Amino acid sequence: GSCFPKDTKALHWLSEEEGYVLRTVKAAIEVNEKQRFKLIKKARQDFPTFQGLKIAVLGLTFKPGTDDLREAPSIPNVRLLLNQGAQVHAFDPVGVENFKKIYPTQVVYEDSPEKALEDADLCFVFTEWDDIKTIDLNLFREKMKTPYVYDGRNCYSLSAAKEAGINYQSIGRPDVKEFKVKEEIVL
């Protein structure tokens, strides 16, 4: 849960105060920090820059069923996307008001996943809300400019992503690379 990072950091700090280094705890903290940007690293392989891209973000809270943003992966990832010139369109069923306290005007807040996906170049899934998990995957292909989906919560099956014809990358599973950009014919 959201307390784990806080607790490991406190344990690490307390042990260092007493002159000890708990290498396992320190390693866990480092791994967790790197995990936060794993989806961004995957997206970088497909999009060398986020400048000027419309990016859909589905899910802002740490977990479904709460408006809690503590340790939410959306916060540092949205910060990075905005800093790199992306246009972020976000959907979350309950976390928007709290997220607006951090990004009051820099993010476009949408009232449905479909609106967030409209003409998006790529999409990040950060929270596994039912509203997000139950999306017909064909909507990614139909609504997005290019259906590249980076899912940090493994909301969708690989076979469904393949059937929908989208590029789908999740955590700890093989990538699905089904969408191909049509090349323009130059005469």
Please list the active-site residues.
3
Angle at 73 between CA 170 and CA 162, to 5 degrees: 15
Question: What does residue 3 show for φ and ψ, rounded to 5 degrees?
Answer: -80, -25
Query: Alpha-carbon distance 31 to 82, whole Å?
Result: 24
